Chain A
């Protein structure tokens, strides 16, 4: 058996180390035959908004990975591979603005949004000034869409318009609720969402009992719940983020605070929320923008079910509607570029403004201010039933029968 002496071994090792960059470069050249289409942005992968930020990020990653695996996308006869340049903004708006400015300095032309209106708002101001489009699935506050921005597009209707379909659902209930109270937290999205709730419910003839505003991060809601027990509304409508929603629901159960209907805009969609409340979660209502059982036709993934299947093969994190919304941002961008037959940011912006297409996420159509059309992109109403999230309104997208009236906490099974 031939023996390798120390000198030969060292020579071979050295040669392999030297050859590695050359091999890498050759591989890169082979991949580099298609042009690159770069999407920049920041996303909260850590910090307070990371839970949903990860979902949006996974949506971006899924769409880009899938499209690249299909050989890239064809825009006006040229093949492009998609590339993401996304950085963790740690849920910090000031860090996000620095990152976006750096990406602009690095000549990024197309931007994807972060999660949270407090981050999307300042970053959108920067991309707007630079006349670069931003398509985002993380900011619903009205402030983003009433600044006169031309280059910012959102996958949700603005916050004050997000409740219209839910009020329409309330009107179908029998027995009919008459009164409502609202609990909101003091952040950009929740405050405007709560304003929309109050406006739409009052317009529909429901009587407001109390409108509570809590700090952005809640550690105790006992005094609010005492007040609710003394002036019990038929409906309690909560406008806040996931962790706060869970705290409110837990404290309601643990103090026997019963209302006829509990609606929480964010929270019940998450498996962790439903797991934490167990059987008590059953009957809680929420907004949902997507369900993989719907039958939308997507130009690339074909259907929501196939998208969910592909996602499941590539990610272990449970799928959520923000994943689909994130993927729809990429799909919408690509379709707009194909429609514009260009990757010029201004032409793509014009094509985005004219978008009206069916995707895995549903129909995508923007208002002239850039938020999602309230009818085409408004939410469905979900209800937790047997510890799973189900769509109960509108009738066309229903996945389960509604539980109404909802039993008291101690009567739930």
Chain B
């Protein structure tokens, strides 16, 4: 029964990892940019949600749409105003350095705005749980998993079934061909970055309900996203979902079978192995980031 509980815990944790990583995966896949400020954007989502919940008492799950909207706008501006400039004037590598610098600035801006003290979002239902026989299910984590799956499903639908999704995929696969067909690639890149930031913000809102957070955590979320992407593959919600779930399972299984001090060791061991054996990830495709 402990094994079943471990699998359940791993899947729930994996859902969170997946949602936090999908935006990172999308940007890497479509723009070819390794966004090192991804974790900071996740945290901005968490802080916005905390602020709305703390000041207005609004349920944190209801904060997700407005947080996504705001971060979509900020992400769009960030890409058009900064990252695109760096790519135009120099190279993709320069854009990585820019995002690293922005991550440092955002981390310190969060310290200035919200203090370095940890914050925690605790709505009325934060401490509820279900017992199914010997299994204990933390309702917060289950609702976080449900929200993650719903959001990942919505993103998959947008990417696969809508015209903007087709445009994003087309631009990712062959930018020149897309341009020849009249696609405004710069706008598409900015929209993709906006979508990525929106999903990072949504994952921040959910993570804030599950975990206490403080500005230095941004580096962890960027790192987790990187591992998820390497594991699952770049550019698709299904890759992020698979990578996230696997990472969650690896983390809880290692903790249970080898020892609670070892999940990170196992996580990085698998990262190295994947980079050696299958660098495109389990569901890797031919998007820009993997070529």
Contacts and interface: CB of A to CB of B under 8 A. Distances in A.
Interface of A: 45-48, 50-51, 53-54, 91, 186, 212-215, 217, 219-224, 226-227, 229-230, 242-243, 246-247, 250-251, 253-257, 270, 272, 276-278, 280, 409
15 contacts: A46-B216, A91-B216, A212-B260, A213-B260, A217-B220, A219-B13, A227-B256, A229-B136, A242-B118, A243-B118, A243-B212, A250-B127, A254-B129, A272-B118, A272-B119
A54 B118 CA distance: 13
Contacts of A51: 115-118, 214
B111 A50 contact: yes
Contacts of B111: 46, 50
A230 B134 CA distance: 10
Contacts of A53: 116
A145 to B, nearest CB: 25
A47 B216 contact: yes
Interface stretch (B2-10, B55-63, B198-206): B2-10
Interface in B113-162: 115-120, 122, 126-129, 131, 136, 138-141
B5 A226 contact: yes
B116 A222 contact: no
B212 A246 contact: yes
A409 B127 CA distance: 9
Nearest to A48: B216
B255 A223 contact: yes
A230 B139 CA distance: 20
B181 to A, nearest CB: 44
Contact of A54 (B108, B116, B217, B220): B116
Contacts of B131: 256
A226 B135 CA distance: 9
B118 A250 contact: no
B138 A255 contact: yes
B13 A220 contact: yes
Closest 9 pairs (CB-CB, A-B): A50-B116, A222-B9, A276-B120, A223-B255, A254-B138, A253-B127, A223-B256, A213-B261, A48-B216
A365 B264 CA distance: 41
B127 A254 contact: yes
A278 B260 contact: no
B129 A256 contact: yes
A51 B212 CA distance: 13
B107 to A, nearest CB: 8
B129 A48 contact: no
A247 B211 CA distance: 6
Contacts of B136: 226, 229, 255-257
B65 to A, nearest CB: 25
A215 B224 CA distance: 15
Nearest to A409: B127
Interface of B: 2, 5-6, 9, 12-13, 107-108, 111, 115-120, 122, 126-129, 131, 136, 138-141, 211-212, 214-217, 220, 251-252, 255-256, 259-261, 263-264
A222 B220 contact: no
Nearest to A251: B138
A212 B255 CA distance: 10
Given A51-B116, A214-B260, A222-B13, 5 more contacts: A47-B116, A215-B260, A243-B118, A247-B212, A250-B122
- Which of B9, B119, B128, B251 has the largest number of chain A CB atoms within 10 A? B9
Contact of A250 (B120, B128, B139): B120
- Which of A186, A219, A251 has the largest number of chain B CB atoms within 10 A? A219
B211 A219 contact: yes
Contacts of B264: 215
Given A230-B2, A243-B118, A276-B212, A254 B141 contact: yes
A194 to B, nearest CB: 12
A278 B13 CA distance: 25
B152 to A, nearest CB: 19
B219 to A, nearest CB: 10
Nearest to B207: A219
Contacts of B252: 220, 222-223
- Which of A223, A255, A276, A280 has the largest number of chain B CB atoms within 10 A? A223
Contacts of B12: 222
Nearest to B13: A220
Contacts of A186: 261
A226 B115 CA distance: 34
B117 A215 contact: no
Contact of B251 (A220, A224, A278, A280): A220
Contacts of B127: 250, 253-254, 280, 409
A221 B129 CA distance: 16
A56 to B, nearest CB: 13
A221 B211 CA distance: 11
A48 B214 contact: yes
Contacts of A246: 118, 120, 212
Contacts of A278: 122
Nearest to A279: B127
Contacts of B214: 48, 50-51, 243
A306 B211 CA distance: 37
A223 B220 CA distance: 20
Contacts of A48: 214, 216
A223 B9 contact: yes
B259 A213 contact: yes
Contacts of A251: 138
Given A91-B216, A213-B261, A214-B260, A254 B6 contact: no
B140 A254 contact: yes
Contacts of A247: 211-212
A254 B126 contact: yes
A186 B263 CA distance: 12
B122 A277 contact: yes
A246 B217 CA distance: 15
A254 B212 CA distance: 14
Contacts of A215: 260-261, 263-264
- Which of B131, B212, B261, B264 has the largest number of chain A CB atoms within 10 A? B212
Contacts of A255: 129, 136, 138
A217 B256 CA distance: 17
Nearest to A254: B138
A255 B129 CA distance: 6
- Which of A53, A230, A250, A270 has the largest number of chain B CB atoms within 10 A? A250
A226 B117 contact: no
